[in-house]
Structure formats: structure tokens, C-alpha cells
Structure 1
Amino acid sequence: MTSGESRGGAPRHHRPALFADLTEMIDAAGGDASPSTRAEVAAATAAAVVTAGRGPGDDDLFVALADHVGLDTLAALWRDSDPVSLPGALWTLYVLRQWCHGDSAGVTRLWRTGEPLAPADAAVAGLPDYADEEAVRRFADAVLGGLYRRDLAVALERAAAFFRVVATGRRAAGDSGGTGNVGDSVAAGAPERTGEPAALADRNERAAASLGAAARLWRAGALH
């Protein structure tokens, strides 16, 4: 399959202009830009990506946005945003996808440990029983796909539930494996940082709380 084709062989509708705009906005946000300007750029690019992703065309392109523009590109835009904001929520979801694809074995181990201990959250996240690595990768793609194709709030709530199950798994297993550091060293391509399981579980739970708050704001029409 060539880069210009979809899985079904039909031509992909690339949006190179969007990626060029993202790069220009990163430049605008860098250097001596004031904090308010950086926040404005983050909010503007996040809104542009959500709007474009919900338009007609190739939704898969936006699910795999970090693969196309680089996670470091998204980090430059959104990493320092308030977690309870549109750019902050998008950043968390894209790092979650990177984690699920890059360390699917570690994530699956944490999920399987936490799933029976947090059945309500596991049901909200929506993975199959005793999910395998492929199911974990599909989940991460489906969450971003839901953001662009269906209800953004539901996508955020699924991701929040997933983080709570993972946190439960960490605490039960005493597991410090995997990144667990949403918005941390993954963006820079640095080696994964490890830490005490309880501290990493706390980070997972904070990510879940931020995503849940963002979902409520989206439903209220107040997530920016």
C-alpha cells in the first residue's frame, strides 16, 4: 500500500496545508512569545485540528496525526497546556496512543491486572475481556477516532476510565513499568522514566481526573 492510498486502495485525502499551518503555529509559539500567546496558539491549533478532523475526508489521518507530524511537534504546541483544556486533553490522548502502540505489552499487563479490580471503569473504557496487545492498540485508535467521528466527551471519558484501570493495576501489582508519565519524556523521545508504582498510579489518576473534567466542560460548551 502506498502512502497515498487508504487501506481499501482509494486515494487518501491528505491535508498538507494543515500540517504546514501547524508548523507555522509552532514557530509563532516559540522563541520570545509570551505565555498568553503560547496559550492562544495552543487553543487555536487544537480547535483547528478537531474541526478539520470532523470534516469530510480521511479520519485515520487525524487518528495518526502524531505519526505524520511527529509527537514532538504536538508537544511544542500542547504539552504545557492546562490539562483541563482542549489542547491539554488532545495532548493526553495522543500520548496515550503513543504509549499503547509503543509499549503495548506493558500497558496490557497493567490493564489485565486492574480490570477485575475496577469493573465499572473497565466497562466504560470498553476493551474486550482479557484484552490482548492488539486490543489495547485498537482501543487507543478508537478513542481518537471517537473524538473525531462521534462524541468528544465520550472519548475523553473512555480514556479517563482506562487510566483509572491502569492505575489500579499499578497499585495491585506494584508495577512501575511503562511510561505512566503523560506529558513527560515520551514527547522528547527520551528514555522512559520510571518511578515508584504509587507515584505513577497517582499520575495516571490525575490524567483521568483532568480528562473527566474536560469531558464535562465539553458538554457544557466551555472546553477551549
Structure 2
Amino acid sequence: MTDAGRDFHKPVRRATGELDRLFGAHDPADKTRAAHSTAAALLSRVRADPDSETVERLVTFTSTHGIDDIAELWSQAPARSLPGALWRLYLLQLMIHDDPHTAALLYERGRVEIASVDPVVAGAPVPAAPDELVALVDRIMRGAFAGDFAVALERAAAFCRVEASGATHVADDYEPTEPERASALTTRALRLSTYAGDLSASAGLWRRESLT
């Protein structure tokens, strides 16, 4: 999957989902409160008793259940909030799982081009094969639920920056001959860069006990 519109497998929203019935389709404030409370309850419960089976179920949740249920809960939350950060972690994981070959191509190009320590922070092997990137993003997810949450967010942000760098440079390669593909990659790079900023900011808020 290389089309930017499918990067994060945007879910089809149900017209009358369960949350609409529970919290009211016309009261977004209730949905916002639900997003924050469910994210906080989930994370605090798992981190208080990080049973390996529970953590594994959360890491593989989208593979088993898809993204729709999580989207109903967290997709409309502010980017720099606890539910917003968890939503972006799941989207990043889904992007890698859906097309690990493109992810590996962009990551390796970004690793070579980027002038920062982000490849070291992200922690991928050199070079990173597609299956190794899948394993890496799953480790980052495990760290979010059972390790240092801020570190997991920073690793995910670093990963996004490397991927964004790779997407930008590959887009430049395609611009003379395949402008549409170049445009799709540029859009992907912008989205990843935005996610990187949001995840880094969320890590800082978590360390100040201000991520809610």
C-alpha cells in the first residue's frame, strides 16, 4: 500500500455507532470526556498490573479487531492528549503492518538522509528489513503499555521523523516522472512529521504529569 490516502487505513465510520447511543450524537463534549476517561482507565489499569497476555492483546488489538472500535473512542481527541497519543501509536503500527515493504524502503532512505539521532532513538536494525520494522513498532507498543510511556512516545516520534525524511526524498526522486506518486509521498511525509511533533509534545506532557 503506497497510496497516501491509505497510509493509515482510515476506518469507515458507522452512522449510528454504540458511542452515539451511549453519549449522544449531538454532544461532542461527552464523547471527548469518554475518550479521555477510557484512555486513562485502560493505561492505568494495564500499567498497574502489566500481565503479559493483556499487554499482548492490546498490542495485537487492531490485527484481531480492526481499527474501528479504537477510532470510535479516540480518533477525534486532541492530538496532544492521552487518547490522541494512543490513537497515533495505533495508526503508526497499522501503517507498518499494512505495508512493511514500503515502510522499510522509506525508513532506510530516511536513515541515510536525516541529520539527527532519530534512527538511534527509534532503535531499528541497520538496515531494517520489513519484518524487523513490524517487530520494532510492536515493541514500541509494548513499551507504551508496560514500560516508560514517554520513552515509547519519543521512539515513535523518532520513527515518524525518519519515515518522513525518507518519504520526502523518495518523493523528490519521483517528481520528474511520476508527479502523482510524488505528491502522495509528500502528503505522507507531512502527516508523519505532524504525528512526530504531536508524539514528542505528548511525551513532554506525560513527564510533567499533564497528559490527560
What CA distance in whole angstroms lies between the structure 1 residues aligned with 2:182 and 2:40? 33
**Does the CA contact (< 8 Å) of 2:163 and 2:189 recur in 1?**
yes
Distance 1:76 1:138, change over 3 A: same
Aligned residues: CA RMSD:
2.3
Distance 1:174 1:56, change over 3 A: closer
Alignment partner of 1:198 is 2:194: no
**Does the CA contact (< 8 Å) of 1:121 and 1:162 recur in 2?**
yes
Greater RCO, 1 or 2 (C-alpha within 8 Å, sep 6+): 2
Unaligned runs of 5+ in 1: 1-22, 178-192
Q: What is the Cα deviation at residue 51 of structure 1?
A: 2.0
Q: What is the Cα deviation at residue 116 of structure 1?
A: 1.5
- Residue in structure 2 matched with residue 189 of structure 1 by the alignment: none
Q: What is the Cα deviation at residue 127 of structure 1?
A: 0.5
**Does the CA contact (< 8 Å) of 2:172 and 2:182 recur in 1?**
no
Whichever structure has more helix as a proportion of its residues is 2
Q: Report the count of equivalent residues.
A: 186
Secondary structure of the structure 2 residue equivalent to 1:93? helix
Structure 1 residue corresponding to 2:38, chosen from 32, 38, 45: 45
**Identity rate, percent:** 35
Secondary structure of the structure 1 residue equivalent to 2:117? helix
Distance 1:125 1:27, change over 3 A: farther
Q: What's the CA shift string for 1:191-218, capped at 9, x where partnerless? A: xx99443332111111000000000000
TM-score of the two chains, using structure 1 as the length reference: 0.76
Distance 1:69 1:121, change over 3 A: same
- Note the 1:53-68 alignment, pairs <5 A: 53-54=46-47, 55-57=49-51, 58=53, 59-68=55-64
Q: What is the Cα deviation at residue 56 of structure 1?
A: 3.9
Letter in 1 for 2:200: G
What CA distance in whole angstroms lies between the structure 2 residues aligned with 1:88 and 1:135? 26
- Residue in structure 2 matched with residue 215 of structure 1 by the alignment: 203
TM-score of the two chains, using structure 2 as the length reference: 0.80
**Does the CA contact (< 8 Å) of 1:25 and 1:45 recur in 2?**
no
Alignment partner of 1:130 is 2:144: no
